[in-house]
Structure 1
Amino acid sequence: MQPAKSPVVKRGLWCLIAAAVLLAVCSKSSPLYPLNDWMDANIFYTMGKAMMNGSVLYRDVFDHKGPLLYLIYGVGWCVDHTGFLGVFVLEVAAFAAFLYWSLRTAEVFTGPLHPAWVLPVGAAAAAGQAFAHGGSAEEFCLPLLAWALYEVLAFAAKPQPDRCPLSLVRVGVLGFGAGCVLWVKFTMMGFFLGWVLVLAVLYLRAGWLRQLGLSCAAYLGGMALSTLPWLVYFGWNHALGDFFGVYFGDNLFLYSGGGQETAGVAAALFAIVQKVYWGCHDTPLFAVLAALGLGWLVLRRRYDAAASAAVLALGLAATSFAKGAYHVYYFLPFAVFAAPGIVPIVRTAGKVRLPGKGLRKTLPAAGGAAALAFCLLTCHNVGQMLRPAEALPQYQFAAIIQADGGSLLNYGTLDGGFYTVTGVQPPCRFFCVTNLPMPEQQAQQDALMQSGAVDYAVSLDPALDKRFDYSLTAQAEYDGGEGTIVWYLYRKNS
């Protein structure tokens, strides 16, 4: 006789299946799409591929996200050398963990729930505009944010006499998770600064001075442990200057993402409020769930829990939105605050009496079908699903380039996915031109073209053959859901 699956295993499997189904529809990394054509995702993929083939991040290949994100994509490249299947598997794992911790957060206030109750959060996050194309840095941080939120709400929801300090091991592991987010994209660290502030206030109120000191040490120790591998990696390769110069220096002093810089506290506060409003407007469903959950906590006088969630959200907003431009995927981390919104829905549904056990048993399946239908009807990526690969310029050009094994440069723009599909390694540090205002990016690419150092170049520029000794070989129109563009393929003249 087979032993019964534990609730943790059962819920974990349920969340994994739900994540796989939702992301199969909503992420362009899914096998249902010919290619994740998002330029950002292809930059991450090329950086990860180069890393796995011996190039040193930032020194030999250039982009300005965190090194852990490139490692994630590098692992995905190990599974699929010319596509996003490996990345999709990692997306599913991360999203399943996000669903699991969102469910646990709701259960803090409801008791055990069927995993189907987390589907509104999953569908809202996956189908919303903030999910973008799939594979964003924010998406891979969702499980760590959701876990940290669960821990602080589970602690704050207890009556003060029933609380006891979190174990130092748990705090240390949470610090390690915060460090992982730091090395993916540091603009989300306001969430964890808020987390530390909340725990500090609650510990001080309880008079746990010694435990607070030990917990701070454990938390910082966990962050240090997550940092150590990168210090070793860059130190071994004599690239610590490149690491800190690009990831912190360039991001803090050069990057604006095309937005206007803010000056002064008042301007920063206005930018935060404005961008939070935009995020709620662009992705209303999990914004509504978050507001519903926070309202329920306040009405039920769960003030410590409500204030804790609010502080974490404010911290996240401060470091995400005070500086630079707004991109809709910046709002995706706020999906973790949708989990408490399940609670009033569950409480209301519990008052409804359903006739017959058969009907009640079919509700989880019905919920899953409704979530899938919601994604199919509302996800902005669905229009690109099941397109034939040969309809994409990336595959059309790859057939030409791979015929003679030529080298390739993605000229003058972000990574269009041609390195991905062809499997070609990037030919130089600035293998594409990012949105950082660095003239040396274009200068290096011009020098490569001028010297004829690459066999092929792909570009959005229709007149490269007038400037360099290259001939136009092919061109193809493409609309990835954001308007029609034309890609041009140039070949070096013999």
Structure 2
Amino acid sequence: MFANIPWLKKVIIIASFFCMVLLLLPSLSEGLLLSLIGGLLLFIKPDCAFTKISLKRIVSSSVIAVLLLVVYLYYLSQYNDISSISFIMSSLLYGIISVVFIYAFISLCSKADFTGVRSGGSTKVSYKYLIYALIFSVLAMLFVSQSSPLYEINYWDDSNIYHTVAKAVWNGKLLYRDIHDQKGPLMFFIQIPGVIISDDSFTGMYVIEAIAFFAWTVIVLKTVFLFVKPGIATYILIPPISLFALITNSFRYGGSAEEFMLPFLGAALYIGLRCIREERSFTLKEAFVVGIISSMVFWTKFNLCGLLLGFVIYVLIVAIREKKHKELPKLIGMFIAGFFCICIPILLYFAFKGSIKTLFDGYFLSNVSVYVDPRKGSTSDAPFIITFAKKQLEIFMENYKYEHIFFMSVFFSLIVFSARKEKKTFLFFILTLGCAYFGIFGMGFQISYYLMGLKSFMVFAMIPLFLLTEKVSDKLTVRALRPGLAVLGMLLITATVIVCSPSLFMFGREREEYPQYQIAEVIKADGIADPKIINFGFLDSGFYLATDTLPFNNHYCTACDYEYYTYEHKALIQQKAADYIITKDKTYDWEGYELIFVSSSNEMYWNGSFIEEDTFYLYRRVS
């Protein structure tokens, strides 16, 4: 069995298994030893009699064993991760268990038949599932997202920015010219229906989030359909399992661009996998749809387009390999046609307003000038490739430490699809994941929520998971147990996900406890009609929402100290144009303004490691 797996895939399996182990075990040395023993299994060819093992295989396995052992011993010598014989014995025990696990797991993955849709099949979703998934989405997002009515405010600054800017656009301001943020125009157009529903709360955003998650659960089911013949357990468990994409640190408190693009990116993966499973070429209609998806992602947040780039590269490789050159021009033409279906209305809107240049400067130039700098923060004179590699390793490790569920699913998927003889599926997975990763992190910039842009790839891990689920379900001789156990599993998983949600930290907090509403009451008591407020030196934290006002200047909130962004605020303060100034964690001595109120609040640090205190200062213009 393992002898038929190419050596490169064997390396991928070993590396993936090693990374999975590190997420499960507390010690790196145990992980190294696990990989040493379990990984060798792939090269020794254990499904054959040991007497038939060739000298070449023994030598190659021994070399690998020595290399892994050297790494293992080096780690022990550097970090002294060994104190007693009990440690060695426990590590050896883990190693023995890993041999059994990796053999049984890969054997199952390589031999199990995917029983889903083939050529001519249907992935149509029943209306019963749609109703169930919609109800589940509405209820689950009540707890998982701070945009829901169960929370007084979404404490995440990015969500407040989207709401404030969308509200300003809905009230007649022109994006980028009159009010600025670096996200694409489609991000704010998506938010406008939410503003229409409620312009003084996040209820509208909650509705949009619930719809987006509902769409994600439908995409997951249709994708699983391609590989697994679903039973009642799959239908019941897909929504709660899909919810795992939303509970990690990258989800934050809900409302990111990555979250809203999740179903669209998932739909692109579904289209690609369906063509592969049905063993056919991409149709012109599918090329058109992928073009539309690409354009929507591009005009929302262009660094998320890496997945679509990987998709296009895959199509080109397959077309060239299978000598289908004549189909390429038509596919490319339909892709471009779909892409411009979204581009043209957006460009016409800004052209009609005479603001094409502000669109270019506000969306493209501002992002490039702030974020695109792979050497940022580095004082090293090392070659670019070394600097780039070090930065990517830092970013990977930073995400790896706090996003266990996501990385477990990725490594799980790598092992499964490396062990199977499905070259196209494996190639599609590697290309789309690789391009998506470097599209997001390739420029050397990392923020915690960026990883949310890769969560659509968790669907690959759900395929073998639900294959195993159906096999277990089929073993139950009492048919009534199948839905009963599935419902129990759904309840347990949902409860676990909700408890682990970063949002839950603020569940039950009263409105009067938030600095946003405390400061709003102080401003309201002064009786100034339509007060002019400056949000100085930090991102929008909900003060415009709480005071029911709109910013009166363009670059109304800043996250960095670049003169380009702070000049406007400093000039307005010098002119005493603002009635109030709000600062965060810093005090200032401004001529003509006095400090009148201070308020503090606690929130969970982005990686969940500790609770941090935010202190806000309110300054009022002296009459």
- Do both share a fold (TM > 0.5)? yes
Determine the structure 2 residue equivalent to 1:283: 403
1:356-403 Cα deviation digits (max 9, x unpaired): 233212233223212221123322221111210110011111123234
| 1:212 equivalent in structure 2 | 328
Mapped partners of 2:283, 2:464: distance in 1: 31
Q: Check whether the contact 2:410–2:458 (CA below 8 A) recurs between aligned residues.
A: yes
The C-alpha deviation readout for 1:452-482, integer Å capped at 9, x for no partner, is 2222221126544x31312222211111223
Give the secondary structure class of the aligned counterpart of 1:480.
strand
SS at match of 1:490: strand
Task: State whether residues 182 and 367 of structure 2, in contact with CA within 8 Å, keep that contact through their aligned partners in structure 1.
Answer: yes
Instruction: Single out whichever of 319-328 and 251-260 deviates more from structure 2.
Output: 251-260
Q: Deviation string for 1:157-176 (max 9, x for gaps)?
A: 34xxx41x333122212211
Structure 1 position 363 matched with structure 2 position 479: no
Matches within 5 A, 1:398-437: 398-403=520-525, 404=527, 405=529, 406-435=531-560
Alignment of 1:139-178 (within 5 A): 139-158=259-278, 162-163=279-280, 165-178=281-294
- Superposition RMSD on alpha carbons, in Å? 2.2
Residue 217 of structure 1, CA deviation: 0.9
Deviates more, 1:369-378 or 1:175-184: 369-378
Partner of 1:3: none
- CA shift at 1:142, angstroms? 0.4
Deviates most, 256-265 or 57-66: 256-265
User: In structure 2, what is the equivalent of residue 388 of structure 1?
Assistant: 510
What is the Cα deviation at residue 448 of structure 1? 1.8
1:413-456 Cα offsets, whole Å, 9 max, x none, are 21121011222011101211233x53143222122222222222
Alpha-carbon spacing, 1:326–1:107, altered in 2? closer, same or farther (3 Å): same
Structure 1 counterpart of 2:536, one-letter code: Y
Q: Mean alpha-carbon deviation: is it higher for 312-321 or for 374-383?
A: 374-383
- Distance of 2:385 and 2:488 partners within structure 1: 49
In the alignment, what sits opposite 1:373?
Answer: 495
Per the TM alignment, residue 198 of structure 1 is displaced from its structure 2 partner at its CA by 0.8
Structure 1, 265-274 or 286-295: larger mean CA deviation: 265-274
Kindly indicate whether residue 193 of structure 2 is the aligned counterpart of residue 102 of structure 1: no
8 Å contact from structure 1 (residues 430, 441) kept in 2: yes
Do the aligned residues in 2 keep the contact of 1:413 with 1:434 (CA within 8 Å)?
A: yes
Aligned-pair CA distance for 1:341: 1.4
- Aligned residue number for residue 42 of structure 1: 160
**d(CA) in 1 for partners of 2:372, 2:291:** 28
SS of the residue aligned with 2:480?
Answer: helix
Please report how far the alpha carbon of residue 101 of structure 1 lies from its aligned counterpart in structure 2 after TM superposition: 1.0
After superposition, give the CA deviation of every residue in 1:309-347 in whole Å (9 maximum; x if it has no partner): 111000011111111321221111222111121232233
**Residue 450 (structure 1) aligns with:** 574
- Give SS of 1:209's match: coil
Deviates more, 1:111-120 or 1:180-189: 111-120
1:232-311 equivalence runs, <5 A? 232-255=348-371, 260=376, 264-311=384-431
Matching residue's letter, 1:458: I
Give distance in 2, aligned partners of 1:426 and 1:318.
35
Structure 2 counterparts to residues 112-151 of structure 1, below 5 A: 112-113=230-231, 114-119=234-239, 121-151=241-271
Is 1:470 equivalent to 2:572 in the alignment? no
Matches of 2:562 and 2:224, distance apart in 1: 46
Deviation of 1:291 after TM superposition, in Å, equals 2.3
CA contact (8 A) 2:141 2:148 kept: yes
How far apart in 2 are the matches of 1:314 and 1:453?
Answer: 49
Identical columns (%): 27
Are the aligned partners of 2:194 and 2:205 in contact in 1 as well (CA < 8 Å)? Answer: yes
Partner SS state of residue 604, structure 2: coil
Residue 448 of structure 1 aligns to a residue whose secondary structure is: helix
Describe the superposition over 1:92-150 as per-residue Cα deviations: whole angstroms up to 9, x where unpaired. 11111112112221221112353333245423211111111211111111011100001
**1:119–1:273 Cα change, 3 Å:** farther
Q: Could you say if the C-alpha distance between residues 266 and 194 of structure 1 is closer, same or farther in structure 2, counting changes exceeding 3 Å?
A: farther
Corresponding residue number in structure 2 for 1:487: 616
Aligned residues: 483
Q: Which of residues 315, 327, 338 is equivalent to 1:222? A: 338
Contact 2:544 2:550 in 1 (8 A): yes
Give me the whole-angstrom Cα distance separating, in 1, the residues matched to 2:407 and 2:221: 17
Distance apart, 1:285 and its partner CA: 1.2
Is 1:180 paired with 2:296? yes
Q: C-alpha distance in 1, partners of 2:532/2:291?
A: 43
Deviates further, 186-195 or 169-178? 169-178
CA distance in 2: counterparts of 1:77 and 1:178, whole angstroms: 25
Could you tell me which amino acid in structure 1 is paired with residue 549 of structure 2?
V
Q: 1:362 to 1:408 in 2, by over 3 A?
A: same
Instruction: For residue 241 of structure 1, report the CA deviation from its aligned partner.
Output: 0.9
Partners of 1:102 and 1:180 in 2: CA distance: 20
Give unpaired runs (5+ residues) of structure 2. Answer: 1-123, 606-611
CA distance in 2, matches of 1:438, 1:241: 21
Matched-pair contact (CA < 8 Å) for 1:14–1:115: no
Would the aligned equivalents of 1:23 and 1:126 in 2 still touch at CA under 8 Å? Answer: no
Considering Cα pairs closer than 8 Å and 6+ residues apart, tell me whether 1 or 2 has the greater RCO. Answer: 1
What whole-Å deviation, never above 9, does each CA across 1:271-309 have from its counterpart, x for those lacking one? 334423432332111321232233222222112101101
Label 1:225 to 1:350 Cα distance change in 2 as closer, same or farther (>3 A): closer
Offset of residue 15 of structure 1: 2.5
The answer as to whether partners of 1:24 and 1:30 remain within 8 angstroms in 2 is yes
Cα deviation, residue 256, structure 1: 5.5
| Partner Cα separation in structure 2 for residue 168 and residue 215 of structure 1 | 6
Q: Distance in 2 between matches of 1:226 and 1:271?
A: 35
Pick the structure with greater CA Rg: 2
* 5+ residue gaps, structure 1: 1-5
**Contact 1:121/1:286 (<8 A) preserved:** no
Instruction: Give the stretch that moved more between structures: 166-175 or 186-195.
Output: 166-175
- C-alpha distance in 2 between matches for 1:8 and 1:457: 54
Name the SS for the 1:34 alignment partner: coil
Q: Distance in 2 between matches of 1:227 and 1:442?
A: 32
